[in-house]
Amino acid sequence: MATRPDNDAYFMNMAKLSATRSTCLRRSVGAVIVKEKRILTTGYNGAPRGIKHCEETGCVRLENHIESGTRHELCRGVHAEQNAVIQAAYFGVSVKDASIYITNFPCVLCAKILINAGIKEVIYLDDYVDTLSREILEESNVLVRRYVENK
């Protein structure tokens, strides 16, 4: 009989599952917003609704040798965290005081969105180099912790 995962493992596994829907050629990221142990929304990185994905057009960032963690505006994709917050807004679901499980540490753009959306906790799996994001999150009241998988 399989061991029942704790809440962190369960929700991080859901974020990893969301990442499998990503259409990004550089990095597959998934996010799950949770409140009171209930999933509110999910998100993964990919092009906006109705727009061709990088799988079809190629990656602007790869073609132009844009360094990871820089020039976020030069990308067809919407980040997983952004999509999770957008999905909540689209369906009229408040994410105030919720937690977000993300497969990667958020970039500075996503950190600002999460702070203003009222997210109270960020749980991430893999690191991502963005010094300003870390500084902004440390200055905010958002709790940030790295999830460590039991292997």
The residue ranges of every structural domain in the chain are 7-146
87-102: per-residue pLDDT in tens? 999 999 999 999 999 9
Active-site residue, selected from the candidate residues 81, 121, 138, 139 = 81
Question: Tokens representing 76?
Answer: 């067809």
Mean pLDDT in residue range 99-110: 96
* Domain 7-146 = CATH 2.30.30.40: no
What CA–CA distance (Å, rounded) separates 66 from 59?
A: 10
Alpha helix (H) residue ranges in the chain: 7-19, 54-57, 60-63, 80-90, 108-117, 131-139
Comparing CA positions, the residue from 29, 18, 126 lying closest to residue 75 is 29
Q: How big, in percent rounded to 5, are the helix, strand and coil portions of the chain? A: 35, 20, 45
14-56: per-residue pLDDT in tens? 999 999 999 888 889 999 999 999 999 999 999 889 888 888 8
pLDDT at 107: 93
Pairing of strands 143-146, 121-126: parallel
pLDDT at 62: 80
Amino acid making up residue 8: D
Mean pLDDT in residue range 139-147: 96
Mean pLDDT in residue range 70-85: 87
If one counts every other C-beta atom within 10 angstroms of the C-beta of residue 3, the result is: 7
Question: Whole-angstrom distance between the N-terminal and C-terminal Cα of the chain?
Answer: 17
| Angle of the 80-90 helix axis to the 108-117 helix axis, nearest 10 | 30
Residue 67 catalytic? no
pLDDT at 151: 62
pLDDT-based confidence at 120, cuts 50/70/90?
very high
pLDDT at 95: 97
Does 2 score more than 70 pLDDT? yes
